[in-house]
Amino acid sequence: SQQGEEDPQALSIQEGENATMNCSYKTSINNLQWYRQNSGRGLVHLILIRSNEREKHSGRLRVTLDTSKKSSSLLITASRAADTASYFCGNTGGFKTIFGAGTRLFVKA
């Protein structure tokens, strides 16, 4: 399967803590995207990191990419209850994006 593997499947932390989720693929990574999905809604784009980049920041988000390991990590710093959602990675090549199964993050107030 080309589907990305996300780890952990679920994560529960206290508000203020950092949350780290990982994503890996069996195929090479071209451009890696991270999305957030609130319950029962569509996905919202968070950040895109290109294959020639190693790290990218956006506000409280930090994404790293290791193309040799075919993996990426998303770090959310100083988490808030509003960060509770599912997070998906997507490996984009050409016109298509192959998504992972997602990590469910629950941030306790």
Partner 1 sequence: DVKVTQSSRYLVKRTGEKVFLECVQDMDHENMFWYRQDPGLGLRLIYFSYDVKMKEKGDIPEGYSVSREKKERFSLILESASTNQTSMYLCASWADRRSAAQNYGYTFGSGTRLTVV
**Which residues of this protein are in contact with partner 1, per CB under 8 A?**
2-4, 33, 35, 40-45, 48, 88, 90, 95-102
* Tokens 């993996």 -> residue: 71
Q: Residues 6 or more apart from 98 whose CB is under 8 A from it?
A: 2, 3, 4, 25, 27, 90, 91
Residue 93: CB minimum distance to partner 1, A: 11
Q: Nearer to partner 1 by C-beta: 12 or 38?
A: 38
Residue 90: CB minimum distance to partner 1, A: 8
Q: Nearer to partner 1 by C-beta: 10 or 78?
A: 10
Q: Nearer to partner 1 by C-beta: 33 or 73?
A: 33
80: how many CB neighbours lie within 10 A of its CB?
12
- Give whole-number Cα distances, 90 to 29, 72, 77, in Å: 9, 10, 21
Residue 14: CB minimum distance to partner 1, A: 26
Token pair belonging to 19 = 């949350």
